[in-house]
Amino acid sequence: MSSEDVADRAALDGERALVGRAVAGDPGAVAEVVRLLQDPLYRLALRMVWRPADAEDATQEIMLRVLGKLDTWRAEARLLTWAYRVGANYLINLRRQTPQLSLDTYREDLADGLAEADYRGPEARLLTDEVRLNCSQAMLQCLARDERIAFVLSDVFELSSHDAAWVLDITPEAYRKRLARAKKRLGNFLNSACGIADPKAFCRCARRVDKAMELGRVDPRRLHFATHPIAPGGRGVREAEQQMVRLHDAAAVIRVHPDYAAPQAKMDAIAGLLESGRFPLLGD
């Protein structure tokens, strides 16, 4: 057995012990489960529903479902992978999502109102970051939900085909086909439209700032992504941008958002609900 296998087994044993304490009603163990899962689940929800406010609501609901099903976890996968499965099932079937966008329509939208020069107004760097991050979220919304989550699990969260297929409860072959469709569609779009993915493409984030503010998609008084809190020790906007430049491919444009942190107020609400005794999620 390799040292990596030994480490994985030790980690899984630790998760078994933690979950066992949580299911038995140990408040500290429940809090630790929430701490381990909240940020990754929030980032998954954010990529599926676009806006932080909707992702907050989705994360709270997913976390409650995870805790409610915690006694069914049999360590067939790592705890987070299992939680992704709970979250994916909820997000794929979520009714309240933005209307389905079209990549062709979105390309036309980006070309309309593109300025001849980069934005040089107040907070130019910050607003350009917001346009870039908001745009990559919009691109994902142009994919059907099953393609979107397949792409997110692989190219954003870097799950193996085996694990991602397990999360989605499909065969690895079916997953790879779904992922290939998503990557082809996004790759074609990015290489034809996005100047980050291909310098010959027409769009530049800094030239979309004025139009984005005019349309209300970017509000300098309330930025959704560029100033979003990040997880302790996680990548910020600058680090994510530098990674994107190093990778310099279509997938990198989508992948490298900062390591956003789940809003603490929602997690505190979950803790309060559990402590109230009015929502007995876990066994006695």
Q: How many helices (H) and strands (E) does the chain have?
A: 13, 0
| Neighbouring residues of 232: CB distance < 8 A, sequence distance ≥ 6 | 261
Residue type, 73: W
Residue pLDDT, tens place only, 71-107: 999 999 999 999 999 999 999 998 765 567 799 999 9
Q: What DSSP element (H or E) covers 243?
A: helix 237-247
Straight-line distance from the first to the last Cα atom of the chain, in angstroms, rounded to the nearest whole number: 38
Q: What is the pLDDT of residue 237?
A: 87
Mean pLDDT of 148-155: 93
CB burial of 7-34 (b: ≥16 within 10 Å; e: otherwise) equals eeeeeeeebeebbebbbeeeeebbbebb
Residue pLDDT, tens place only, 225-244: 999 999 988 888 888 777 76
Residue pLDDT, tens place only, 266-282: 677 777 766 665 545 54
Residue type, 278: R
Residue 268 lies in a domain: yes
Do 29 and 21 meet the contact criterion of CB atoms below 8 Å apart?
yes
Q: What is the pLDDT of residue 284?
A: 44
Residue 282 lies in a domain: no
CA distances from 189 to 41, 125, 126, 255 (A): 27, 25, 25, 15
Q: Which domain holds residue 141?
A: 3-276
Nearest to 257 by CA among 10, 52, 1: 52
Nearest to 29 by CA among 37, 38, 20: 20
Residue pLDDT, tens place only, 36-79: 999 999 999 999 998 999 999 999 999 999 999 999 999 999 99
Residue 281 lies in a domain: no
Residue 88 lies in a domain: yes
Residues 239 and 250: their CA atoms lie apart, in Å, by 18
Do 44 and 140 meet the contact criterion of CB atoms below 8 Å apart?
no
Residue 208 lies in a domain: yes
Residue 284 lies in a domain: no
Both tokens of residue 241?
């941008």
- What are the backbone angles phi and psi of residue 117, rounded to the nearest 5°? -135, 160
For the CA atoms of the chain, what is the radius of gyration?
20
Both tokens of residue 75?
């360590």
- What are the backbone angles phi and psi of residue 194, rounded to the nearest 5°? -100, 120
Residue 78 lies in a domain: yes
Q: Cβ atoms within 10 A of the Cβ of 215, count?
A: 12
Nearest to 228 by CA among 240, 216, 242, 212: 240
Predicted confidence band at 265 (pLDDT cuts at 50, 70, 90)? Answer: confident
Residue 42 lies in a domain: yes
